[in-house]
Amino acid sequence: MHRRHYERHRTGRVAWLRAAVLGANDGIVSTASLVMGVAAAHATGQNILIAGIAGLVAGSMSMAAGEYVSVHSQADSERAELEREHHELQTDTEGEHKELAAIYVGRGLDPKLARQVAEQLMAHDALDAHARDELGITEAFKARPLQAAGASALSFAVGSALPLVVVALTPAAALLWLVFATSLVFLAALGALAARTGGAKVGVGAMRITFWGALAMAITAGVGMLFGVSG
């Protein structure tokens, strides 16, 4: 009896992982930068917290909307390609068979074997075979707008909440530097987690996301200080 071999691959996580990491990163960096910029302009602790909460809500909605529109456009393109492929399969079956066989020949199969593989796969599910091997559309990488939007909004809110907790618990005198330091720790942890989940090098992932986050926060704080002094 033939037993099906199951393997767990990280490729199935790509869609939601990208959206989640992007959302959490933006949440930490944008909210930390916002509160640091406001704090550097000598605002009160209450005003800093209100500005941060407003940034959390606005950013979450913006991330969800932007991700939904972007991924939905990808889904529309995939749907149009599949409809075109379906039409071609109905009107030129022989041509589509040769096209699929040529793809397998290009991947290293003997021409005779390639024709047999193409014939069997098309007999089983022609559209699925062409979607996967001609168009590169698979279930693991299929566009899912609602999933991407939800992951982005939720992860942005979680990321934004981290520096806001620090703001709420920190005295105004130490707020600027403590938010900066803790946000770097949050970013490093996020980069390491994302790299580990995706199977990449943990150290590289942590350093990359921390560097760009630190740069963004430093520039924003500098702008806040400039306006604070000008005022």
**146-179 tens-digit pLDDT:** 877 888 888 899 999 999 999 988 887 788 889 8
Q: Residue 204 corresponds to which tokens in the numbers above?
A: 């590289």
What one-letter code names the amino acid at 187?
L
In a domain, 30, yes or no: yes
Quote the domain boundaries for residue 172: 13-81+145-230
In a domain, 86, yes or no: no
Q: Is the pLDDT of residue 230 over 80?
A: no
In a domain, 114, yes or no: no
pLDDT at 83: 83
Q: Identify the burial level of 109 via C-beta atoms within 10 angstroms of its C-beta, where 0-12 means exposed, 13-18 middle and 19 or more buried.
A: middle
- d(CA 17, CA 38) in angstroms, rounded, equals 31
Distances (CA, A) of 14 to 26, 62, 111, 125, 206: 18, 21, 34, 26, 18
Determine contact, residues 159/21, Cβ cutoff 8 Å. no
Determine contact, residues 144/39, Cβ cutoff 8 Å. no
In a domain, 181, yes or no: yes
- d(CA 127, CA 212) in angstroms, rounded, equals 43
Q: Is the pLDDT of residue 91 over 90?
A: no
For the chain, percent of residues with pLDDT exceeding 70: 84
Determine contact, residues 122/129, Cβ cutoff 8 Å. yes
Confidence bin at 78 (pLDDT 50/70/90): confident
**Average per-residue pLDDT in the chain?**
78
In a domain, 37, yes or no: yes
Q: What is the largest CA-CA distance in the chain?
A: 80
What one-letter code names the amino acid at 23?
G
Q: Is the pLDDT of residue 15 over 60?
A: no
Q: Is the pLDDT of residue 199 over 70?
A: no
pLDDT at 5: 43
What one-letter code names the amino acid at 94?
E
Determine contact, residues 170/162, Cβ cutoff 8 Å. no
Domain count, the chain: 1
Average pLDDT of the segment spanning 29-45: 84
Q: Residue 210 corresponds to which tokens in the numbers above?
A: 């921390």
